[in-house]
Structure 1
Amino acid sequence: MPALPTRATAAMVDRPIPDDPEGLRSEVVRLKKIVRALMGRAERDMNARHTDFGWFQDTIRLEDQVRARTRELEEAQLHIERINRDLQSAKDRLEREVDERRRANAALEQAMEQLVQTEKLAALGSLVAGVAHELNTPLGNSLTVASALSQLVQGFNEQLEAGTLRKQTLVDFVAQCRDAASLLEKNCRRAAELIGNFKQVAVDQTSMRRRRFDLRQSIEEVLSTLHPKLKHTAYGLELAVPAGIELDSFPGPIEQIVANLVNNSLQHGFEGRSEGHIHIAAEVVSGGQILLHYSDDGAGIPDAIAKRVFDPFFTTRLGRGGSGLGLYIVYNLATAALGGTIELTSGAGRGARFDLRFPRVAPSTALRGEEHDGPG
């Protein structure tokens, strides 16, 4: 009976199952070659040495082992292929979801940008209404003086034509004209100042242009446009920003930040209160930085809310005119436009304090492509 190297052959059959489809295919091909080789050898030996039943049984048993092993490998290959198909399907589905999420985020960002611009335009509209109301006083006074002066000139002219003009009448007429001219000049200058402040603030806030400017003057300009909101209230505002702090930056964002913080105090901090006080100060600190302090003695902001005040669309006045974008715009302007930081310190019943820190010279990466003006 011929000796069959069953251990060596079994070792060739009992290899670990490969994990990858290509390895499985190679293993199946290899085992099929072993089966064909064994069958060929068995047939040659039986033809050469006649029938040896025991040896033939060993050969059949080994062939069965090889076939069983081949089926295991083929099933494993099919299983791995199914897994790969499932993985590919999951990958395609995930890519579609990522694309949909990316498109949704782009649409959300666009909608948010439009809402921010709408909020800015609404603030500018409120500014226009306030300035128009303020202009009524000097223009109304000028109209009254001009009407009185017209009547005075008419009476003077009648006396002159009638030949009844006396020296004292002429002296009184000159004095009255002088007073009228003084009043007209004062009221026209006030109207021109209001228009100039409005024009500067409007241009700064809409164009986001970069220029050199005095910090106190810029804040005074925006506060003059907010005067109509404060003059009929018991709320006071103190400006403690020293003159002479010249910046090479973007005045528009600073003015917008101050306006939004004042509006925030009026709408939230002083809600339900008969009086309140706002304090604005600034100082030059180390590293060419400006530290702008804004504080009020209003109701304050509880800790749970303080963590979310800079989030978009977060408001405690939902349905009562609150858009939830005021402080979000403040945060974006402070960080993106001015290249700085803003921190809130507050607590329920302790008022609110905002500390804005930004460079005296705005970084070139803050807002690219903006025109650079000379001294403002």
Structure 2
Amino acid sequence: MLQCNNKEQSTAIFATLNLKIEQLKNEIKERHYTEQQILLLNKNLEQSINERTAELQHKNQELNRFLAELKSAQDQIIRSERLASLGGMVAGVAHEINNPVGVCLTASSHLTQQVSFYQTLYHQDKLTRNDLEKFLETASKSSTIIESNLNRAASQIGRFKQLAVDQSNDEKRFINVKKYLTELLLSLQPYFENTSHTWNIICDKALTIETYPGAIGQIITNLISNSMTHGLVDIDNGEIEIKIIQNKGLIQFHYKDNGIGIPLHDRAKVFDPFFTTKRNQGGSGLGMNIVYNLVTGKLGGNISIENKQSNGAYFFFTIPESL
């Protein structure tokens, strides 16, 4: 028990105690106020986080919608390029078929005339043994010409049918690489019309792989189109070489031409979408970007621009021999 005999001392002690009590009350009030402020801040922070989360979710939905639209646009562009390649093949096949069909028509017309001539002799009782032998010889030669050229046209149509299927579908199948590329290049003859440019395929005749031939066809078509449009446009006696090598489970494609080549400052941008040096001449800048996407995406490979020759363009890409 607190005891104090001095009144002044007692008064001083109680004054001090009252002061301490007031200080404690003030501290409690300040602490309570601080706690209220913290609760308010937490509430505002939670509301701010919720608002920010909702905003981010909305932005994410917009981004997903944009990516879906971009993917759809990319698919549409690839389909358009595929149809453009198919259109080039149609022109090539039409060109290849026109000649044998024309020969057949000429031979058939000549045979019809000969039949009419010898029928007239027969009805006039003027047909001799020698005439009959001449007619049979003419009919035999005409039939042989017609048959061989119809077979040639049928072969062209059969080749085109498979190429058209490959270009329009994304189905995987086994192909003989040299045979497939040879048939593809023959269908692309319109690219070489009115030029002295030539092409050569170097590949093992027995090399067979399981892949997406439509993708390979579009890659080679776009590379040739690029050579003809950019590299060989002002070149005489242009040459395109496609060399294919099988190496440790990979198929290596070496594509090169002897054109003007690709400037160093453009090489890093060749595969960029919409990059073209002929914007004012109808170039879309999508051909090489599609080549890159098909090699690295559809075929699971890699592609690069090589710098191993003094002139011309040199593209090197690898794909698995089996997908």
> How far, CA to CA, are the matches of 2:30 and 2:113 in structure 1?
122
> How far, CA to CA, are the matches of 1:290 and 1:57 in structure 2?
92
> How far, CA to CA, are the matches of 1:148 and 1:283 in structure 2?
50
User: Is the Cα contact below 8 Å between 1:201 and 1:222 reproduced in 2?
Assistant: yes
> How far, CA to CA, are the matches of 1:248 and 1:106 in structure 2?
30
Question: What are the Cα deviations for residues 142-162 of structure 1, in whole angstroms up to 9, with x where unaligned?
Answer: 111111110011101111221
> How far, CA to CA, are the matches of 1:347 and 1:281 in structure 2?
15
- Which runs of structure 2 are paired with 1:203-214 in the superposition (5 Å)? 203-214=165-176
> How far, CA to CA, are the matches of 1:340 and 1:107 in structure 2?
26
Amino acid at match of 2:39: Q
2:140 alignment partner, one of 178, 190, 194: 178
Say if 1:53 and 1:2 are closer, same or farther in 2 by CA, change over 3 A: farther
Say if 1:66 and 1:266 are closer, same or farther in 2 by CA, change over 3 A: same
Question: What are the Cα deviations for residues 88-124 of structure 1, in whole angstroms up to 9, with x where unaligned?
Answer: 3222212211111111111111111112112211221
> How far, CA to CA, are the matches of 2:318 and 2:308 in structure 1?
21
- Which runs of structure 2 are paired with 1:219-368 in the superposition (5 Å)? 219-285=181-247, 287-346=248-307, 350-360=311-321, 362-363=322-323
**Pair 1:71-2:71 in alignment:** no
> How far, CA to CA, are the matches of 1:210 and 1:196 in structure 2?
19
User: Is the Cα contact below 8 Å between 2:252 and 2:317 reproduced in 1?
Assistant: yes
User: Is the Cα contact below 8 Å between 1:2 and 1:55 reproduced in 2?
Assistant: no
Alpha-carbon RMSD: 2.5
**Pair 1:106-2:72 in alignment:** no
Count of residue correspondences: 315
Partner of residue 21, structure 1: none
Partner of residue 192, structure 1: 154
Unaligned runs of 5+ in 2: 4-10
2:18 alignment partner, one of 56, 65, 86: 56
> How far, CA to CA, are the matches of 1:2 and 1:121 in structure 2?
106
1:208: Cα distance to partner? 2.6
Question: What are the Cα deviations for residues 7-66 of structure 1, in whole angstroms up to 9, with x where unaligned?
Answer: xxxxxxxxxxxxxxxxxxxxxxxxxxxxxxxxxxxxxxxxxx9x9333223211221232
Partner of residue 105, structure 2: 143
1:84 alignment partner, one of 36, 46, 53: 46
Amino acid at match of 2:34: E
Partner of residue 6, structure 2: none
What SS class does the counterpart of residue 306 from structure 2 fall into? Answer: strand
Amino acid at match of 2:206: G
Farther off after superposition, 190-199 or 270-279: 270-279
User: Is the Cα contact below 8 Å between 1:283 and 1:292 reproduced in 2?
Assistant: yes
Say if 1:81 and 1:2 are closer, same or farther in 2 by CA, change over 3 A: farther
What SS class does the counterpart of residue 52 from structure 1 fall into? Answer: helix
What SS class does the counterpart of residue 343 from structure 1 fall into? Answer: strand
User: Is the Cα contact below 8 Å between 1:300 and 1:348 reproduced in 2?
Assistant: no
Amino acid at match of 1:67: K
> How far, CA to CA, are the matches of 2:255 and 2:45 in structure 1?
61
> How far, CA to CA, are the matches of 1:208 and 1:62 in structure 2?
82
What SS class does the counterpart of residue 92 from structure 1 fall into? Answer: helix
What SS class does the counterpart of residue 221 from structure 1 fall into? Answer: helix
> How far, CA to CA, are the matches of 2:225 and 2:264 in structure 1?
21
Amino acid at match of 1:236: T
> How far, CA to CA, are the matches of 1:108 and 1:191 in structure 2?
42
User: Is the Cα contact below 8 Å between 2:107 and 2:142 reproduced in 1?
Assistant: yes
What SS class does the counterpart of residue 281 from structure 1 fall into? Answer: strand
> How far, CA to CA, are the matches of 1:324 and 1:217 in structure 2?
30
- The structure with the larger Rg is 1
What's the % identity of the aligned pairs?
34
User: Is the Cα contact below 8 Å between 2:295 and 2:319 reproduced in 1?
Assistant: yes
Q: TM-score, normalised by structure 2?
A: 0.88
Q: TM-score, normalised by structure 1?
A: 0.76
**Pair 1:160-2:122 in alignment:** yes
Partner of residue 128, structure 1: 90
